[in-house]
Amino acid sequence: MTLDELKENESAQIVQILDEQLEESMLNMGFIVGEDVKLDRIAPLKDPILITSGLNYISIRKEDAKKILIEKTKTS
């Protein structure tokens, strides 16, 4: 599944980022393939979303979240 399919407060592991440029941007913000990511909040107008990985807390548009493959680990 992809990151945009998560519900609020669901966590998953980043498996792959399908866009090289996006992967680099995410890496700069501290989002690394293999690590956990949590969807914290969906904006009132359903887009963009707020996500965290470790101590990194960023916003990203759904369009980009669609390119981030994830695997569900746990729900909290």
Partner 1 sequence: MPGTYSLNPEAEDERVAANTIKNITDDELIIVVADVTNLKRNLFLCTQIIDLGKPVVLVLNMMDLLQKSKQCIDLDKISALLQIPVVPVNARIKKGINELKEVITNYKFKPTKLIALTATERYEKITTILLSCLKGGEANKWIDRTKKIDNILTHKIYGYLIFLSILFVIFQAIFSWSAYPMELIEEGFSLLGSLVESWLPEGVLSDLIVNGILAGLSGIVIFVPQIALLFAFITILEDTGYMSRVSFLMDRLLRPFGLNGKSIIPLISSIACAVPAIMSTRSINNLKERLITIMVSPLISCSARIPVYTLLIALVIPTEEQVGIFNLQGIVMMGLYLIGFLAALFAALVFKWILKSKGKSNFIMEMPIYRLPRWSNVGFSVYNKVKVFLFEAGKIIIAISIVLWGLSSYGPGDTFEKIEEKYASPAYENESEDEINNLIASEKLEASYAAYLGKTIEPLIKPIGFDWKIGISLVTSFAAREVFVGTMATLYSVGDEDNTTSIREKMLQAKNPETGDRLYNKATTFSLLIFYAFAMQCMATLAVVYRETKSYKWPIIQVVYMGALAYISSWIVYTIFS
State the Cα–Cα distance between residues 46 and 22, nearest whole angstrom: 21
| Torsion angles phi and psi, residue 66, rounded to 5 | -60, -25
The least distance separating partner 1 from the CB of residue 76, rounded to whole angstroms, comes to: 12
Indicate whether 75 belongs to the interface with partner 1 (CB under 8 A). Answer: no
Beta partners for residue 68, in sequence order: 17
Q: Which stretch binds partner 1 (CB under 8 A): 10-18, 57-65, 68-76?
A: 57-65
Cβ pair 68, 1 in contact under 8 A:
no
The least distance separating partner 1 from the CB of residue 5, rounded to whole angstroms, comes to: 18
Residues that bind partner 1 (CB under 8 A): 21-22, 24-30, 32-33, 40-41, 43-48, 50, 52, 54-61, 63-64
